[in-house]
């Protein structure tokens, strides 16, 4: 890919946005004069969603070389209130389809294993969600089953996607490196249930199919067979949640996972050698587990009727069993909602994360470096930081310029490089358009 300045990448993103949504919203002058509700079928129990997210990124220094990349996602969804539609109390049918396109700057120019564009991955048109959600016992118990992903039910927070990089937005990436934790929009068979066991105290558990077919570029989420499944992953959480009505909302969570699916050994091949040197297939293993604690706490809220205020969040994760890529991970973030006067919907955020590689991963990276003629030096820690400002432009558009910095980029994507990868400074530009609010 020819190197482009980040300004060009951002302009390409805006152009892609215009091309993607213009046909859908083109209308005559007469049509424009007639006010339309943003949810025309709401009275019939149908809530529609249509949005576009674009993320541009360019590394101005460091990495493998200077470059820029753009990735985007179209999201189309619907929630059907089955009480209104069919008289089934507490039931909701969820459906969503995505189209992801574009390229990853981390793949092109940095070589590290954590993308600086969280929207990148599963680059095709995909049936992302098809589930039935049922509320029972006066909402004390909620069960959902069908086709979906673990990461939209567990280990997530609205605070995380203040940011563009995958070390902050989406979910803490440690869980994907060390388990078969399923990720959006690659859907598989699943069920999860959350129950209130005491005032503000909840228990949450799920089971998600582990199937290598779901990670293939040719999979569009419409292959419902389980013939190639290798097991299930069971995430769980115990939480204390104050609720949004609290003066200072908070969540404190203890969680983990038990992964009973197959995975590739991070070091050894099928004959016991080092796979990255032999070129042979990695050994197939089965069974891993991990544990985490995380929290979200709003610490200031001058006006209880306003969203303005400072929130802090944190995550600490560790591996418990299995042969894994990373041994520990932590993430800490600050988000100030409401910035300048009259900008109550804007937010300013900073986050920092640290990935600690396991002894197995270090042995692999050092062996590859020595084989390429290097000194065998590799850093055990990769630190990623991001500073982001999110501006609400009208009711439908959110624009989030950001600066990211990667200290000690890992060499997963460039194992043959005979020297450490330079620290990378990245300029990013993220935007989201909620078409239902246009």
> Are the C-beta atoms of residues 68 and 107 closer than 8 Å to each other?
no
Name 432's bridge partners: 53, 398
What are the extents of the domains in the chain?
6-437
Q: Residue 107 carries which DSSP code?
A: I
Helix (H), strand (E), coil (C) string for 197-266: EECCEEEEEEEEEECHHHHCCCCCCCCCCCCCCCEEEEEEEEEEECCCCCCCCEEEEEEEEEEEEEEEEE
Determine the pLDDT at residue 305.
86
Instruction: Report the percentage of the chain scoring pLDDT > 70.
Output: 91
Cα separation, 354 vs 137, whole angstroms:
42
Cα separation, 394 vs 338, whole angstroms:
15
Cα separation, 264 vs 283, whole angstroms:
6
Q: Which of 62, 59, 58 is nearest to 423 (CA)?
A: 62
Which CATH code is given to the segment(s) 6-437? 2.40.160.180
> Are the C-beta atoms of residues 315 and 307 closer than 8 Å to each other?
no
Cα separation, 39 vs 32, whole angstroms:
16
75-109 pLDDT, tens digit per residue, is 999 999 999 999 999 999 999 999 999 999 999 99
In the block, tokens 């996607």 appear at 161
Kindly calculate the radius of gyration of the chain based on its CA atoms and give it in whole angstroms. Answer: 22
Concatenated DSSP letters of 13-30 = HHHHHHHHHHHHH---HH
Cα separation, 419 vs 438, whole angstroms:
50
Q: Is 243 left (phi over 0), alpha (psi -120 to 50) or beta?
A: left
11-61 pLDDT, tens digit per residue, is 544 444 444 444 433 343 343 344 444 677 888 899 999 999 999 999 999
Determine the pLDDT at residue 128.
97
In the block, tokens 């030096």 appear at 377
Q: Is 152 helix (H, G, I), strand (E, B) or coil?
A: helix
The parts of the chain modelled with pLDDT lower than 50 are 1-5, 9, 12-37
Determine the pLDDT at residue 35.
42
First vs last Cα of the chain: how many Å apart? 34
Determine the pLDDT at residue 119.
94
Instruction: Report the percentage of the chain scoring pLDDT > 90.
Output: 82
Q: Which of 421, 353, 349, 420 is nearest to 391 (CA)?
A: 349
Determine the pLDDT at residue 238.
98
Concatenated DSSP letters of 155-212 = S--TTGGGSSSTTTSSS-THHHHHS----TT--EEEEEEEEEEETTEEEEEEEEEE-G
Determine the pLDDT at residue 33.
40
> Are the C-beta atoms of residues 133 and 26 closer than 8 Å to each other?
no
Determine the pLDDT at residue 24.
39
Q: Is 243 helix (H, G, I), strand (E, B) or coil?
A: coil
Q: Cβ of 226: how many Cβ atoms within 10 Å?
A: 11
* 32 half-sphere exposure, CB direction, 13 A CA radius: 6
In the chain, what is the greatest distance between 2 CA atoms, to the nearest angstrom?
72
Q: Which of 241, 334, 255 is nearest to 293 (CA)?
A: 255
Determine the pLDDT at residue 347.
97
**pTM metric for this prediction:** 0.90
Q: What angle do CA 202, 203, 204 make, to 5 degrees?
A: 120
Q: Output the CA torsion sign for 154, 157, 162, 167.
A: negative
In the block, tokens 């620290």 appear at 423
Phi, psi of 7 (to 5 degrees): -60, -45
């Amino acid at each position: 890919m020819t190197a482009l300045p980040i300004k060009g990448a951002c302009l390409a993103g805006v152009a892609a946005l215009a091309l993607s949504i213009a046909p859908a919203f083109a209308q005559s002058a007469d049509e424009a004069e007639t006010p339309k509700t943003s949810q025309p079928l709401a009275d019939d129990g149908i809530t529609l969603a249509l949005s576009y997210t674009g993320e541009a990124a360019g590394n101005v220094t460091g990495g493998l070389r200077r470059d820029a990349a753009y990735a985007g996602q179209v999201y189309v969804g619907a929630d059907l209130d089955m009480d209104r539609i069919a008289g089934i109390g507490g039931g909701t049918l969820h459906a969503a389809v995505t189209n992801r396109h574009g390229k990853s700057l981390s793949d092109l120019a940095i070589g590290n294993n954590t993308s600086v564009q969280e929207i990148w991955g599963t680059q095709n048109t995909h049936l992302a969600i098809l589930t039935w959600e049922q509320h029972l016992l006066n909402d004390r118990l909620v069960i959902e089953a069908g086709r979906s992903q673990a990461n939209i039910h567990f280990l997530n927070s609205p605070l995380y996607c203040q940011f563009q990089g995958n070390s902050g937005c989406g979910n803490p990436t440690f869980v994907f490196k060390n388990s078969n934790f399923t990720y959006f929009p690659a859907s598989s068979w699943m069920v999860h249930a959350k129950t209130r066991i005491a005032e503000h105290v909840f228990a949450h558990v799920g089971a998600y199919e582990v199937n290598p077919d779901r990670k293939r570029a040719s999979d569009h989420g419409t292959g419902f067979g389980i013939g190639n499944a290798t097991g299930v992953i069971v995430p769980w959480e115990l939480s204390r949640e104050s609720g949004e009505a609290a003066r200072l909302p908070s969540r404190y969570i203890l969680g983990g996972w038990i992964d009973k699916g197959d995975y590739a050994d991070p070091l050894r091949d099928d004959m016991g050698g080092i796979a990255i040197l032999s070129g042979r297939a990695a050994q197939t293993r089965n069974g891993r587990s991990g544990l985490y604690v995380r929290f979200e706490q709003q610490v200031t809220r001058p006006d209880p009727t306003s969203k303005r205020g400072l929130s802090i969040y944190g995550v600490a994760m560790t591996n418990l069993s299995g042969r894994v890529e990373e041994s520990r991970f932590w993430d800490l973030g600050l988000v100030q909602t409401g910035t300048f006067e009259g900008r109550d919907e804007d937010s300013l955020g900073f986050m920092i994360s640290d990935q600690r590689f396991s002894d197995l991963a270090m042995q692999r990276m050092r062996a590859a470096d020595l084989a390429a003629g290097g000194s065998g030096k590799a850093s055990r820690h990769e630190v990623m930081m991001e500073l982001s400002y999110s501006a609400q432009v009208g009711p439908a558009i959110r624009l989030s310029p950001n600066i990211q910095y990667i200290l000690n980029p890992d060499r997963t994507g460039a194992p043959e490089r005979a020297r450490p990868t330079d620290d990378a400074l990245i300029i990013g530009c993220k935007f989201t358009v909620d078409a239902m609010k246009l």
